[in-house]
Amino acid sequence: MSRFFVFQRCRFGFVIALAITLVITLWVSSVPAQRSISVQVNRWLSVQSLGGEVWYLNRQGTRRAQTGDLLTVVNDGLRTGSGSTGTLLVDTGIGTIQLLQDTEIRVQRLDYASDNGHITHLYVPRGQVHVNLRRFTHRGSELEIETPAGVSGVRGTEFGVTVQSDGFTGIVTREGAVAVEAQSRQVLVPAGYQTTIRPGEPPLEPLVQSPPTIDYRIDYRTNGSRRWALLIGQVDLVNRVYVNGEQQQLNYWREFVYEVSAVRGTRVEVTVLSPLNERADYDIALF
């Protein structure tokens, strides 16, 4: 065999080996890059359970909610009727948000943080929500509940929010801690404490949680042949109160007034409901 052919064979073998080495090098160097790629899917809240009359809200209008409905874009929402409840599951399975009766919730933002954490911002214009979350695994994750009075933010806790008809907001924490902010002031509400916010004012310093109880008195009135009674009750503003199933509006002094005509044997059923879904029931005789 001539020297020329030996040289050509060696040269060809060297090129093949170089090519194989190059391919292996490129493949190995690509593995870390492939592992670092994160696939992000659309964010959502799903309707996990329903009780009573609950409506699903989106840009197409309003309809009766169904289990499995998804809240995916800004202004999607859920609304519960009297005596009704609904539960939303956060897409990552991080926890649930329960809507108590006469409550509305809307999506403000469903997004990702720079570290792939999940950002969930919701708006509650009225009603009561009970939030139960496990601790987040990403520093950038956050869940916020905004009301007409302020914002409550958490990273993993159990807490409740009440929004009265005038926007007055109460926050109660069962586990963990909740950062409550309004009018450029923030307070931290630890487990077993509560705070309140009036629209346009900063949050108050946290106080020990009050149970859902009521103080009341009965005033009897007459006008000629007409007789009636006024049930005047006072409750903590973190709670809602219902008389015979009808929600009562609370004034500045935390009072409501319920009028009943004088009929022998008349009684009323009063329920005080906390945002943690704790309740106290009273059967009150008026005449």
Give me the CATH number covering residue 271: 2.60.40
Q: Of the given ranges (60-69, 70-79, 88-97, 119-128), which has the lowest mean pLDDT?
A: 88-97
Pairing mode of beta strands 279-285, 267-273:
antiparallel
Amino acid at 187: V
Residues 6+ apart with CB under 8 A from 34: none
Helices (H), 37-157: none
Q: Judge whether residue 34 has pLDDT over 60.
A: no
| Any domain includes 31 | no
Regarding whether 227 and 204 lie in a shared domain, the answer is: no
**Which is it for the CA torsion 221, 226, 229, 230, positive or negative?**
negative
Regarding whether 280 and 244 lie in a shared domain, the answer is: yes
| Any domain includes 149 | yes
Regarding whether 160 and 276 lie in a shared domain, the answer is: no
Regarding whether 130 and 238 lie in a shared domain, the answer is: no
- From 208, 227, 260, the end of a domain falls on 208
Mean pLDDT of 29-51: 67
Regarding whether 77 and 162 lie in a shared domain, the answer is: yes
Q: Judge whether residue 3 has pLDDT over 80.
A: no
| Any domain includes 1 | no
Chain position carrying tokens 């009050």 = 210
| Any domain includes 10 | no
Number of domains the chain contains: 2
Regarding whether 222 and 166 lie in a shared domain, the answer is: no
Torsion of CA 135, 49, 170, 274, to 10 degrees: -110
Mean pLDDT of 177-186: 97
Regarding whether 241 and 156 lie in a shared domain, the answer is: no
Regarding whether 232 and 104 lie in a shared domain, the answer is: no
Distance CA 241, CA 285 (A): 17
Domain limits at 236? 215-285
Tokens of 97: 């948000």
Regarding whether 276 and 141 lie in a shared domain, the answer is: no
214, 241 contact by CB (below 8 A): yes
Distance CA 74, CA 57 (A): 11
| Any domain includes 55 | yes
pLDDT above 70 covers what percent of the chain? 86
Task: Choose among 101, 84, 96, 140: nearest CA to 122.
Answer: 96
Regarding whether 233 and 165 lie in a shared domain, the answer is: no
Q: Which helix (H) or strand (E) holds 260?
A: strand 255-261
Torsion of CA 201, 206, 212, 213, to 10 degrees: -90
Q: Judge whether residue 23 has pLDDT over 60.
A: no
Q: Judge whether residue 83 has pLDDT over 90.
A: yes
Mean pLDDT of 200-221: 96
Distance CA 282, CA 71 (A): 37
Which CATH number do you get for residue 60?
2.60.120.1440
Regarding whether 99 and 60 lie in a shared domain, the answer is: yes
237, 196 contact by CB (below 8 A): yes
Mean pLDDT of 147-158: 93
Q: Whole-structure pTM over 0.75, yes or no? A: yes
Mean pLDDT of 256-281: 95
65, 47 contact by CB (below 8 A): yes
